Structure 1
């Protein structure tokens, strides 16, 4: 499921986390993860992970037994949950850590989605931080980053244009430009 979603040196930790994740899917779903795969390059290494996972979040049962690196892996994996509340919870916990660069693809990916509360939370946390490593990652994945930017605009246009009628004030635009380095 996520073996290609992290650097090779984390393989044992990833395997441990995957074994801990519940195999019980949400709402009797017949799949555990989507067939759609997100693929990025980071430091010349291909990173791949499922667009969505459909497993119930059972992490409260074992998170205290994990080391910091394992917690980061867990938060990255659950940032792909089909449940927006679970995605937000784990992204917030990840952003509050001194996260490693290998977590950046998960942070960037979740921000091109439609849940504005996640975009707002991410911007509030990142706006005062040094995001040069995120900007470097976005530049390295330029074509995918532009696609993400366009998705963010599409969601603004479809769902949030009435609330934020001035795109320059929209939090998604601020996040992508101020924190991720998007420029025209």
Structure 2
């Protein structure tokens, strides 16, 4: 399915401009990724972006403030896992509600270095945004948990003998606990 971008009103113009800039060097067609609610508004992210890493880095480096953070969030949808990790490292400490879906989505992916980064460095300030996001998107959280469980079962069971010790599941459990406590 072809990607239909949608973002909260406050960031929609910036997101559309960034996506347009990213897709000018697109190497493949953009497909629909995840859709979530964010403070009552729809956010729809691409499955993957296939622009060149250099073009993406240049776009990020020329952006400032929230535009840069949004470009980094979109960079977590890049086809290259190293680029996704680099983008995550640069925005993980940002306290914006619209960063939460991009961070949570990565917990349901297969790159263990990214999962461990999220599990070990998610700042306390961001935790409330993650809990709010989890409360608003129970189906997305369940799907992310299913994906994380599947990757644990296929690739990481030997390293993490118990599912409950797998970093993605630990992080999702912590988010769920905070969401239920509030």
Note whether the superposition's TM-score is higher than 0.5: yes
Task: State the TM-score bracket (shorter-chain normalisation).
Answer: 0.7 to 0.9
What TM-score, normalized to structure 2? 0.85
For 2:62, the equivalent position in structure 1 comes to 65
Cα shift readout 1:80-138 (whole Å, capped 9, x = no counterpart):
11111111111111103x23101111111111111111000111111655512211211
Change beyond 3 A, Cα 1:124–1:38: same
For 2:12, the equivalent position in structure 1 comes to 11
Question: Structure 2: any 5+ residue segments left out of the alignment?
Answer: none
Q: 2:98 aligns with which of 98, 102, 105?
A: 102
Q: Does the 8 Å CA contact 1:21/1:55 hold for their aligned counterparts?
A: yes
Paired residues for 1:128-139 under 5 Å: 131-139=127-135
Matched residue count: 176
Q: Deviation of residue 62 (structure 1)?
A: 4.3
Question: Structure 1: any 5+ residue segments left out of the alignment?
Answer: none
Runs of 4+ in 1 over 6 A off after TM superposition: none
Cα shift readout 1:61-82 (whole Å, capped 9, x = no counterpart):
3434322111111011111111
Change beyond 3 A, Cα 1:129–1:11: closer
Q: Deviation of residue 161 (structure 1)?
A: 0.4
Question: What RMSD in Å do the two structures reach over aligned CA positions?
Answer: 2.3
Q: 2:161 aligns with which of 143, 158, 165?
A: 165
Change beyond 3 A, Cα 1:166–1:2: same
Change beyond 3 A, Cα 1:166–1:17: same
Q: Deviation of residue 3 (structure 1)?
A: 4.2
For 1:90, the equivalent position in structure 2 comes to 87
